[in-house]
Chains A and B, each alone.
Chain A
Amino acid sequence: MNAQPVATVTASAASAKPIEGRGTWALAWSRLRRDKVAMISLVVILLIVVVAIAAPLVAHVTGHPPNEQYRDIGLSPEGLPRAPNSTFWLGTDDLGRDILVRIAYGARVSLLVGVVATGLTVVVGVLVGLAAGYVGGWLDTVLARVVDVVLSVPFLLVAIALVSVTGPSMTVTVLVIGFFSWASVARIVRGQVLSIREREYVEAARSLGAGSVRIMFVDVLPNVLAPVIVYTTLLVPVVIVTQATLSFLGLGLPPPTADWGGMISSAQNYYTTAWWFVVFPGAALLITTLAFNLFGDGVRDAFDPRLEQQLRR
């Protein structure tokens, strides 16, 4: 009685494609690809990247270099910014510069700092977390205290103080953000490593004569990457906002470099008279962070579908 359905299943499975073992990555990617919101966000992110790369093209099409001050046609007779018009599509700023062109150039700063600082954070955090979790002992204790210190320091205050002492530049911004962000990554990685280093396959590798460094990077590291990747995608928008915040407080990039936080900062004094001056750079910043956050959420769900499955139950 029971034999028949089993036979049918075997038969249909044989005629269908043979079942392939798919790794975490393939599974996550296939889930992510079906996530509409995440895919739209990815498209938006790619568009922003294109705008950043094509910033000189934007300047060429409008005919306005990013730092050119049009004090005659770009400012009203009272010296106020011009509203959006056929010459300046998104209006002008307080110095008569084209906001559209400056937004395009500002995208370069946001993306570059976002990606480089996040990369730095993740590399340092992963290395420290691996060392602390795998080596353990006194190294773990020392690193744990250092992590505590970095996480207890009022980040923004110390960052402002540091930048004010060293003078603002892109390198300083990246280093400061990286310096204060690696600790959370290290904490996540350490926790993961602690559980993975006790697994049988690590023991197996050790009994085969693999050295600590090899085990750490070949056996342990690939298995902690999923949470790191999720954290990384969600860290990019945080870094972008932090960079913009430093600029807003006057410690971003030295003028006249166009960057979103700095634009909003100078727009602050004009929010009653020139809404476009706040709204367009603000919208650019918000759309960017929103796209990264939505995409990051999708990545998280793709790697950890537990929550979504629970909902379908």
Chain B
Amino acid sequence: MARFLIRRILQGIVVLWLITVAVFGLFFVVPNDVARTLAGRQATPETIALIQHRLGLDQPVWKQYLDFVWRALHGDLGYDYYHQVPVTHIIAQALPITLSLAIGASIIWLVLGVFNGVLSATHPRSLEDRGLTAFSLFFYSMPPFLLGILLLYVFYYQLTLRGVTWFPAGGYVPFAQDPTAWFQHMVLPWITLALLLAATYTRLTRASMLDVLGEDYIRTARSKGITERRVIYRHGLRAALTPVVTQFGIDLGQLVGGAVVTETVFSLPGLGNTAVDAITRQDLPVIIGIVLVASAAVVIANIVVDVAYAALDPRVRLH
């Protein structure tokens, strides 16, 4: 197990290193005129050269890369071009917002997805099953930004028109500052993400549960005279959850950099939104920093999932 873990972690480090090469290459090979933008329209070539020198942009790309890696290994991701704020500081401010979004939404989609999946699988081809399948496919096909706008229309605009001001139009209030306001600002983003992802989980749980319920040991459990409820939840669901847990790990990892649209629609200043801002301003250190953190989240989530899998199923370790 320890060897498996070490091998996976080393592989993860290689992947992260390759990502830094790829991202760095992409952004630094393409000519950028951020120094010109910073210097303003009236700037002399000397001013631009000075700014380029200060940002280290006059160095050869390979040297900039080595400097970047060296500093990154020391926990320093550089400074943003515009206000000289440390990138780590910007990420530290945005990350809790993205995490509030991801964790809150994940609770809703897990409960909704697994519960609906079990209901579907235990009543195959019934009205409930067909209804739930249609329901999940509907949200599975829904573009995230469209769902966000529709929810805003119904819950913010229509309710506010009727004097119910429970849901704001967007923005973020830290939990420490006002828990109630935090909750109100997070509910619609949570529901948006949760509905989109619950669909996958409903389908996954349904398929996996149907597979498991066909196994011999389920028949054995039933023949022992255990209640159907116990058969389904204790014997069936337990085994059926493995692929769901895997998917959950992967999704959670991807959400760190993947909630861009939800954050944009609801103006949440999380990692995705911060990155989009940085992209429009060509603020390379911030973009690279966020891409790196988001990729690391995916890599770590994958390792955790693999280890959990290997711990559950010894056959995996052989490969």
Interface residues of A (CB under 8 A from B): 145-146, 148-149, 151-158, 160-162, 164-166, 237, 241, 244-245, 248-249, 261, 264-265, 267-268, 271-272, 275, 278, 282, 285-286, 289-290, 292-294, 297, 307, 310-311, 313
Contacts and interface: CB of A to CB of B under 8 A. Distances in A.
Contacts of B138: 290
A155 B259 CA distance: 11
Interface in B1-55: 11, 14-16, 18-19, 22-23, 26-27, 30, 32
A245 B137 contact: no
A249 B260 contact: yes
A118 to B, nearest CB: 16
B124 interface: yes
Contact of A244 (B19, B22, B23, B143): B143
8 contacts: A152-B15, A154-B257, A157-B258, A157-B260, A157-B287, A261-B143, A307-B207, A311-B210
A164 B280 contact: yes
Contacts of A292: 141
Contacts of A261: 143, 145
A15 to B, nearest CB: 36
A268 B137 CA distance: 24
Interface stretch (B100-108, B109-117, B171-179, B295-303): B295-303
Contacts of A158: 23, 26, 291
A166 B30 contact: yes
A82 B157 CA distance: 20
A130 B317 CA distance: 25
B153 interface: yes
B269 interface: no
B143 A148 contact: no
A146 B280 CA distance: 28
A261 B145 CA distance: 9
A145 B14 CA distance: 8
B239 interface: no
Interface stretch (B69-77, B225-233, B271-279): B271-279
A156 B125 CA distance: 37
Contacts of A290: 137-138, 141
A264 to B, nearest CB: 6
B43 to A, nearest CB: 22
Contacts of A286: 141-143, 146
B294 A154 contact: yes
Given A165-B30, A290-B138, A155 B261 contact: no
Interface of B: 11, 14-16, 18-19, 22-23, 26-27, 30, 32, 124-125, 137-138, 140-146, 149-150, 152-153, 157, 207, 210-211, 214, 254, 256-258, 260-261, 264-265, 272, 275-276, 279-280, 282, 287, 290-291, 294-295, 298-299, 302
A152 B298 contact: yes
A293 to B, nearest CB: 5
Give the interface centre of B146, B214, B265 by most chain A CB atoms within 10 Å. B146
Given A157-B260, A157-B294, A264 B279 contact: no
A245 B15 contact: no
B153 A162 contact: no
Contacts of A249: 260-261, 264, 276
A160 B15 contact: no
Nearest to B203: A297
Nearest to B284: A161
Contacts of B11: 145, 148
B144 A245 contact: yes
Contacts of B150: 278, 282
Contact of B254 (A154, A160, A248, A311): A154
B149 A154 contact: no
Contacts of A166: 30
Nearest to A162: B26
A167 to B, nearest CB: 11
Nearest to B21: A149
A157 B291 contact: yes
Contacts of A307: 207, 210
Contacts of B152: 271
B258 A282 contact: no
A145 B265 CA distance: 34
Given A154-B294, A155-B258, A156-B258, A264 B18 contact: no
A168 to B, nearest CB: 13
A286 B264 CA distance: 20
Contacts of B30: 165-166
A182 to B, nearest CB: 15
Q: Give the 10 A-B residue pairs with the shortest CB-CB distance, closest first.
A: A154-B257, A154-B294, A289-B141, A290-B141, A152-B298, A311-B124, A282-B146, A149-B18, A248-B145, A241-B143
A145 B18 contact: yes
A148 B15 contact: yes
A163 to B, nearest CB: 9
A275 B157 CA distance: 11
A160 B214 contact: no
A294 B137 contact: yes
Nearest to B207: A307
B220 to A, nearest CB: 17
